[in-house]
Amino acid sequence: MENTRFTQGTEQLKAIDGKRGENVINSLEDKAPDLGKFIVEFAFGDIYAREGLTTEEREMIILLNILCFLLKQLPYLSNLQFLLPPPL
């Protein structure tokens, strides 16, 4: 039986990231093959293959989520300023 999630995910990965995306997944084969399979099946096979949003809309949502996460971390990151060298 063919794994449709993996097949759909592979098609989405190729359409979105092309050869670069395939290289990332292939680089995980030695270290964490299950992680590569999970990324293809879940992120690209389940999430990106859903109907309702365009690829551009999905990518905008991802960028906004990352931005919100980073902005929430700013108060904690400012406590690490003592690790930086003093200004000249």
Q: Does pLDDT of 88 surpass 80?
A: no
Q: Which one of 30-39, 48-57, 68-77, 79-88 scores highest in mean pLDDT? A: 30-39
First to last CA, the chain: 65
pLDDT in the model for residue 81 = 67
Q: How far apart are CA 59 and CA 61, in angstroms?
A: 5
Number of DSSP helices (H) and strands (E) in the chain, helices first: 3, 0
| Mean pLDDT of the residues in the chain | 86
Per-residue model confidence as pLDDT tens digits over 49-78: 888 988 889 889 989 999 998 888 777 766
